[in-house]
Amino acid sequence: DLPQHIPLMTILESMKLASNGQINIAGMLLFGIYPNENFALSQIVAMSFFGNDTSMLEYRDSDNFEGTIPHLYKEGFDFIQRNLTASADENKALLKIPEKIIQEVLINALVHRSYFLDYFTSGNIVISVFDNRVEIESPGILPETLTIESIKSGIAFQRNSTLSNYLIDMISFRGIGLGVSSILSDYPGIELIDDEDSDQFKVIIKRPD
């Protein structure tokens, strides 16, 4: 129970979920009722394609998800899982990407993406499921002090530490913070792209041959 003699806003500010008497970005993204009213482009755009490129005119599946980060995580994960199953060749064993790899890459995209102070200029996370891979693209490149090689070697990167701290207790997956080096150790079939031209960071998870 919250102490009745302490104003709610004071408590939220002490929890780093508010500042200057208003709910901040972290508070909205974690607990907001309609976060997308303030962050018009903080959704997940999800698409599943027939084949291995985007040349087909029809999607196997597509959806847009909005809401808090825990909700986005659940919806994004469920979308990937059902489309990995749908895109498997019926005459072959299911090409399986371990669940924990998808979980870690997706939560990293949600936690470490760039959330700009200008509520209407940040971009969406894009999930693309192909027959041979999954791509997860998030807004914001690595900071100048980091490179892909350095994060592969185990150097930590936290763009939004408040989000990380709360999400450990808010979602069922406990692997937040395992790091890129651990993901690559468990599943080498991953490619990382830090695209400065588009200001996007992309993770490509290849399905087993």
Cα pseudo-dihedral 85, 91, 95, 99, rounded to 10: 40
Q: Do residues 132 and 52 touch, judged by C-beta distance below 8 A?
A: yes
The confidence score (pLDDT) of residue 195 equals: 92
Strand bridging mode 125-129 / 44-49? parallel
188 vs 68, 132, 173, 207, CA distance in Å?
31, 15, 21, 11
Nearest-angstrom CA–CA distance, 108 and 78: 16
> Helix, strand, coil: what percent of the chain each, to 5?
35, 20, 45
pLDDT tens string 152-204 = 887 776 777 888 888 887 876 555 545 677 888 889 899 999 998 888 999 99
The confidence score (pLDDT) of residue 17 equals: 80
pLDDT tens string 26-70 = 888 888 888 777 776 789 999 999 999 988 778 999 999 999 999
pLDDT at 93 over 90: no
120 vs 3, 22, 126, 185, CA distance in Å?
36, 18, 17, 37
E strand spans, the chain: 18-19, 22-23, 44-49, 59-65, 125-129, 133-139, 190-195, 200-206
The confidence score (pLDDT) of residue 170 equals: 82
pLDDT tens string 3-23 = 667 777 787 888 888 888 888
Distance from the Cα of residue 64 to its chain's centroid: 14
Distance from the Cα of residue 178 to its chain's centroid: 15
Nearest-angstrom CA–CA distance, 206 and 97: 8
Nearest-angstrom CA–CA distance, 187 and 157: 20
Greater pLDDT, 39 or 139: 139
**Mean pLDDT of all residues in 103-132:** 80
pLDDT at 121 over 60: no
Q: Give the model's confidence band at 119: pLDDT under 50 very low, under 70 low, under 90 confident, else very high.
A: very low
Q: Do residues 101 and 77 touch, judged by C-beta distance below 8 A?
A: no
Would you state the structure tokens that stand for residue 38, as one six-digit string?
A: 């303030």
- Residue ranges of domains in the chain, CATH in brackets: 21-206 (3.30.565.60)
Handedness of CA 136, 142, 148, 151 (dihedral sign): negative
Length of the chain: 209
The confidence score (pLDDT) of residue 120 equals: 46
pLDDT at 146 over 80: yes
